[in-house]
Amino acid sequence: MSSIHIRPRFKAKYKIKPDEVGELVRKHMAELDCGCSAKILKDFIVFNIRPDEQHFWSPQLSISFEADEEDKSFTVIRALYGPNPTVWAFFTYGYVALAIIGTFLGMYGFSQYSLGQDANILWSLPYWLWLHSCCI
């Protein structure tokens, strides 16, 4: 059974020095009009859609490369394809906010219930649990 990955990862080994990878990408980016832009660092490359065509949800490809530990003439290239990191941060903060609100609603409601007072706020807990579970 195959599984669906939200952020696919790739790993490959090439017979090239790590220092040459950035130069090859720079050379090909200058020759081709691929519709993307690249930030090239020493051992890391990020491909983005051009800023004039980019949206908040546009994907990006992050590539890291390093010398193979067994054979230094090979380079291990790892790639991660996914949305912009700010999108992941937005989802993370959203989940944290939902969890905090649900926790405080539960604490308040159960403390009201244990004191024998009216605890109608507990009726909102199933909604918060549903909201948290449907977003996962």
Per-residue model confidence (pLDDT) at position 1: 45
The C-alpha angle 82, 43, 27, rounded to 5 degrees, equals 90
| pLDDT tens by residue, 1-14 | 456 667 788 898 98
Q: What is the mean pLDDT of residues 46-74?
A: 85
**Backbone CA torsion sign across 14, 15, 18, 24:** negative
More confident residue, 102 or 64: 64
Residue 135 DSSP label: T
What is the DSSP secondary-structure string of 35-51? SEEEEE-SSEEEEEE-G
